[in-house]
Amino acid sequence: TIVYLIKHADELKENGIKITNDTTQLMNEKYILSIKGEEQSRNLSENHELKNIDVLWSSSYARAKATAKYIAYRNNIEINIDSSLNERRLGNLEDLSKWMENKKCGVVQAYLQDRNWKARDGESCNEATSRITSFLQKILKENVGRKIALVSHGALISFLLTNWCELNKETELVFNNKVIEIKEPSITKLIFNEEKIIDIKSIEI
C-alpha cells in the first residue's frame, strides 16, 4: 500500500484590514491558495507519482481542498473530506505568541519538542498525532494494496511522521538517515506492508 502525504500549496497572504465576525480558527480554515499556489498545485498533480491514485482524501480547509482538486481532476476521482486531516487547532494566539517569545526555533519544531503543550482551546502535538494516526490506520485497513493520496498540513504531517522518524538536533525528521523535508507544497511517499512501514521518502516536485 502506498500513501502520499501532500502538504497544500502556497496560501494567499492576507495583510489588509479584516472586518469579519470569523474567529481566528475560521479564518485559518478559509485561507485560499495564492496564484502561485494554484500553479504549484497544477504542477504537483502532474507528478508521475500521483498517476493512478485510487483514493483521495483532503482536510476540510479551503487551501487543502484547492490543492486536492487538481489531483482529483487528473485521476478522475472524487475528493473525500475528513476533519481528521485538518491542521492542529492553534487555539488562543496570545498564549501561542507568549509561549514562542524566547524560542529559537519555528512553531512546528517547538510543538515537536514540547509535545503536551497547547494554547487555550488549542490542540497539543500528542493530541493531533493521535487523531491523524487513528485516521491513517483506518485508511490502511480499508485500502490494502491501493495508492492513497492524503492532502493535509505541514505540522500535522510532521506529527504523523514522528511515528516512524527520529528527530535530530535541529528537530528535523529523519528516516533511515535521510532527512524528510515538508515544504509548501510537498509529496512524502510512505510504503506499507499491511500496517508496517517499509520506506519513507520525499518526492521531487
Residue 100 has, within 13 A of its CA and on its CB side, a CA count of 17
**pTM of the entire predicted model:** 0.96
Cell of 43: 504542477
Taking the C-alpha atoms of residue 48 and residue 71, their distance in angstroms, rounded to an integer, is 11
> pLDDT tens across 123-135, in order?
999 999 999 999 9
Please tell me the predicted confidence (pLDDT) of residue 15.
87
Q: What is the pLDDT along the chain (205 residues), one digit of tens a residue?
A: 999 999 999 999 988 888 888 898 999 999 999 999 999 999 999 999 999 999 999 999 999 999 999 999 999 999 999 999 999 999 999 999 999 999 999 999 999 999 999 999 999 999 999 999 999 999 999 999 999 999 999 999 999 999 999 999 999 999 999 999 999 999 999 999 989 999 999 999 9
Strands 147-152 and 2-7: parallel
C-alpha dist (Å) from residue 176 to 51, 165, 179, 192, 197:
26, 8, 8, 15, 12
Taking the C-alpha atoms of residue 4 and residue 22, their distance in angstroms, rounded to an integer, is 32
- Residue 6, SS3 per DSSP: strand
Own/partner pairs, 11-17, CB within 8 angstroms, 24+ separation: 11/37, 11/63, 12/37
> pLDDT tens across 146-166, in order?
999 999 999 999 999 999 999
